Amino acid sequence: MKCFEIPEKGKNGAIVDRDAPEAQSGQYLIDVTACGLNFADLLMGEGKYQERLPFPLIPGMEVAGVVRAVGKGVDPAAVGQRVAAFCGAGGLAEQVAVPAERCLPVPEDMTDIEAAGFQIAYGTSHVALDHLARLKPGETLVVTGAAGGVGLTAVEIGALMGAKVVACARGADKLRVAQEAGAHHLLDSDTADLRAEIKALGGADVVYDAIGGEQFDAILRATNPGARLLPIGFAGGAVPQIPANYLLVKNLTVFGFYWGGYLKLHPEVVTGSMSTLMSWFAQGRLRPVVSQATPLPQAAQALDDLRARRSTGKVVITVNQSG
């Protein structure tokens, strides 16, 4: 099979030929049609991700495709089904083997490109905002990186949950995308005084931060007493340091959250969340945004676009596409 492989930590990846995997006990072997990219794929390639994987490495945490074969203990009737799967790594390939419990059927009206980028972005935002932060109608939710893969889903879900959503993103084009997803207030993170403007809007009750660095520091100082903070990622490069005395004085709560880890820690939460999200999609309440659908041979360029934060919504790699 062809795959996008990174030979060593920090090195550039390339398309290579490798032996295809086989379905082991409890697994599906999937013919991949699309693979969603995540910022974590970049961190994996640099050896900076919280889960250190061996090299050579095939990145790609989530895929959509068709079940080609099943391993021992798996119902053979699954062969031929369209599924979306969280594979953790290995998705940037023509085939990938994934535990059956990490796969779910793709609704008929959801494209493979949409399905490939659905689970992590929407799952992260929904579990973070609903299960952890307990976001309430009327509260003010501040989202950084609001036009990115996870940030845009936080805007959309926050608005669905009845919050007043403040979107922070770079430039008018990205802010327009956030507005279309339901944001009520738009702040240009390159030019706005985030602390002053968020305080002028009444302060933040929940902060969903995908950027880190100076943006997080500014928004932290615009939080209301009892606010909840969700540091989701650090696309800006700097991991924020939160003064404990500030948490104490304002009675703030910080939630550490990694969606993939919840598959082991609280799988029932992830299952329930995904059921809700798929229901919302079927009702037309969620509209996944994919800004790029790039063929596998151009995976390196797509990862560069993700690194430079040139994209909005999800970036998806297409594989085994017919026609």
Residue 194's pLDDT is 97
Omega prior to 243 cis, within 30 of 0: no
Residue 64 lies in a domain: yes
Task: With respect to residue 80, please indicate whether it lies within any of the assigned structural domains.
Answer: yes
- Say if residue 192 is in the same domain as residue 216: yes
Same domain as 224, residue 130: yes
Together in a domain, 21 and 59: yes
Give Cβ neighbours of residue 282 (< 8 Å, ≥ 6 apart). Answer: 107, 109
Let me know whether 87 and 151 are in one domain: no
Does residue 166 share a domain with residue 86?
no
CATH of the domain at 215: 3.40.50.720
How many other C-beta atoms are found inside a 10 Å radius of the C-beta of residue 161?
A: 18
Q: Tell me which residue of 318, 317, 310, 316 sits closest to 147, measured CA to CA.
A: 310
Alpha-carbon distance of 128 to 89, in angstroms, equals 22
Structural domain that includes position 186? 121-260
Any idea what the Cα angle at residue 22 is, between residues 17 and 28, rounded to 5°? Answer: 120
The rounded distance, in Å, linking the Cα atoms of 319 and 270 is 27
Number of domains comprising the chain: 2
The yes-or-no verdict on residue 192 having pLDDT over 80 is: yes
230 occurs within a structural domain: yes
Cβ atoms within 10 Å of 111's Cβ, excluding its own = 16
Would you say residue 268 lies in a domain? no
Q: Considering the domain boundaries, does residue 189 fall inside one?
A: yes
Which residue has 């790029």 as its token pair?
A: 292
| Stronger pLDDT, 237 or 61, i.e. the higher one | 61
Helix (H) or strand (E) holding 43: helix 39-45
Q: Looking at the whole model, is its pTM more than 0.75?
A: yes
Overall average pLDDT of the 43-64 stretch: 92
196 domain-assigned: yes
What does the pLDDT read at residue 322?
A: 61
Q: Domain of 76: which CATH number?
A: 3.90.180.10
> Please, where are the H alpha helices in 142-188?
149-160, 172-180
Q: Are 8 and 79 contained in the same domain?
A: yes
Return the number of other C-beta atoms located less than 10 Å from residue 57's C-beta. 22
310 shares a domain with 233: no
Largest alpha-carbon pair distance within the chain? 60
Is residue 188 located within the same domain as residue 159?
yes
DSSP 8-state assignment for residue 126: H
Both 225 and 250 in one domain: the answer is: yes
Distance (Å, rounded) from C-alpha 106 to C-alpha 64? 8
Q: Which two tokens stand for residue 295?
A: 């063929």
In a domain, residue 32? The reply is yes
Residue-wise pLDDT for 145-190, tens only, equals 999 999 999 999 999 999 999 999 999 999 999 999 999 999 999 9
Same domain flag for 128 and 171:
yes
pLDDT value at residue 309: 85
Task: State the Cα–Cα distance between residues 180 and 201, nearest whole angstrom.
Answer: 20
Question: Are 146 and 57 in a shared domain?
Answer: no
Task: Report, as an integer, the average pLDDT of 129-135.
Answer: 98
pLDDT tens digits, one per residue of 100-118: 999 999 999 999 999 999 9
Residue 323: pLDDT band (50, 70, 90) is very low
Instruction: Please say if the pLDDT value at position 88 is more than 80.
Output: yes
- Fill in the DSSP letter of residue 92: S
Same domain, 240 and 207: yes
| Residues 142 and 293 sit within 8 Å (Cβ to Cβ) | no
pLDDT tens digits, 219-267: 999 999 999 999 998 887 788 899 999 999 999 999 999 998 898 899 9
Confidence category of residue 321, pLDDT binned at 50, 70, 90: confident
Crossing angle, helix 172-180 and helix 149-160, to 10 degrees? 40
Has residue 125 been placed in a domain? yes
